[in-house]
Amino acid sequence: MGLRLPGSLAPLLILIATILIGGGIALTQTGYFGESAHHMVITAYLAVIAIVVAAIVYNDPPRALAAILGGHTFAAVLAGLAGIAGYFSLFPGAFDLFTEFSRAKGTFKDPNVYGPFLVIGAIYALYRLLERPLSRGLGWAVLIGFLSVAILISFSRGAWGYYAVSLAALVVLMLLVNPDPARRLRILFVSAAAAVLAILAIAVALNIPSIAEMFSQRGALVQNYDAGGHGRFDGQLNALSWILERPLGVGQSDFGEWWGEQPHNVYLYMFLQTGWLGGFAYLALVLATVAGGLGAIFRGLPRPGLAMVAVAGFLGVALEGLIVDTDHWRQFWVLAGAIWGLIAWRRDAAAAGGPPPRM
């Protein structure tokens, strides 16, 4: 039996199609057709992945979500091992292979992509730690500490913020979903213990002079390249001006070629790439994914479990999009697809009067 694509996924398909149509129209306005077209093809490929993931999750939500999040965590461990091996030069050539500008990048091309990728694994580990007896949670606790250090040495402010937001979102969701006071107290206690563990792991790492020095540099809220007449914030203001003047968009490359870099805000970036049509569709996709995911958690799923991990992770990456161009981050599209598969399943199960799955 083939993979089923239900009609209840139509809103996702419409939003994605609108984004791609907007991107196609914007290609008629670009002065760099080859680069912009290549970028849009990659966007289309990732969007198709989201649709496929949505269909997979729809057909078997508990097993599919467990496989997706578990697989992502396994990949995060491998990437984290590579990042740590590179940062600490654990074998010849590791530093050159797995770092960039003295920052861990693991198996990724950029520390600012490597760090956020590990976050899903860390919050999945926290969820597993909170869901089982403490006597069986040691491995997950160790994993949280390991991934926390691996995220730290990316020295990515976006990754640090993403980690904090997603962890907090997961704990809040679990507290809201669990009505039992004793259960809530345990969640608070274990979450606090996990936070202390992560802080201790980071504190130990900060005793290493190279980490402490880089942390002091990267820990500042505003870097010298954020402002100063030609910084990140100036670029975003100029991008907004371009968007208002060019409703059809200009493709992926034109603004970057003119300004020297992209706006480092995925929402502005999508308006530039896909015009007002695609930009508003992308914004609607993000908002609808968050709202629909929260709806699935609070209405229709007695134990939403893994759905909370997916929504907390997506919320973090959506907020990081305010400071980073995340349109080609695989985790954005995979999590969006997973959440939409759950939204569609809940809607159809409610209409049919079927029992909700236990996550």
Which regions in the chain score pLDDT beneath 70?
A: 1-2, 219-231, 300-303, 353-359
**What whole-number distance in Å separates Cα of residue 179 and Cα of residue 172?**
12
Range of the domain at 229: 7-352
Q: Which of 78, 25, 139, 56 is nearest to 340 (CA)?
A: 56
- Is 100 within the bounds of a domain? yes
Contacts of 215 (CB under 8 A, 6+ apart): 152, 155, 206
Per-residue pLDDT tens over the stretch 206-247: 888 888 888 887 766 555 555 555 567 788 888 999 999 999
* Cα 117 to Cα 337: distance, rounded to the nearest angstrom: 17
pTM value is 0.91
Per DSSP, which regions of 172-323 are E strands? none
- Sign, CA dihedral 321-324-328-329, equals negative
Using a 10 angstrom Cβ sphere, with 0-12 exposed, 13-18 middle and 19 or more buried, the burial of residue 209 is: exposed
**Three-class SS of residue 154?**
coil
Cβ atoms of 191 and 169 closer than 8 Å: no
Specify if 222 maps to a domain. yes
Name the β-bridge partners of 215. Answer: none
| Beta-ladder partners of 104 | 99
Specify if 357 maps to a domain: no
Tokens for 49, please give them.
């992945």
First to last CA, the chain: 24
For residue 224, what pLDDT is reported?
A: 54
Q: What pLDDT, on the 0 to 100 scale, is given for residue 95?
A: 95
Residue 57 CA: distances (Å) to CA of 140, 173, 202, 308, 314: 25, 21, 35, 14, 16
Domain count, the chain: 1
Residue 107 lies in a domain: yes
Is position 327 within any domain?
Answer: yes
In DSSP notation, 292-344 reads: HHHHHHHSS-SS-THHHHHHHHHHHHHHHTTTS--TT-HHHHHHHHHHHHHHH
pLDDT value of position 318: 97
The reported pLDDT for the residue numbered 235 is 84
In a domain? residue 1 = no
What pLDDT sits at residue 356? 57
> Is there a domain that residue 358 lies in?
no
Residue 231: per-residue pLDDT = 64
In a domain, 2, yes or no: no
121-179, pLDDT tens digit by residue?
Answer: 999 999 999 888 777 888 998 999 899 999 999 999 999 999 999 999 999 999 999 88
pLDDT of residue 300: 66
The predicted pLDDT at position 221 comes to 59
Kind and range of the H or E element at 99?
strand 99-100
Strands 103-104 and 99-100: antiparallel
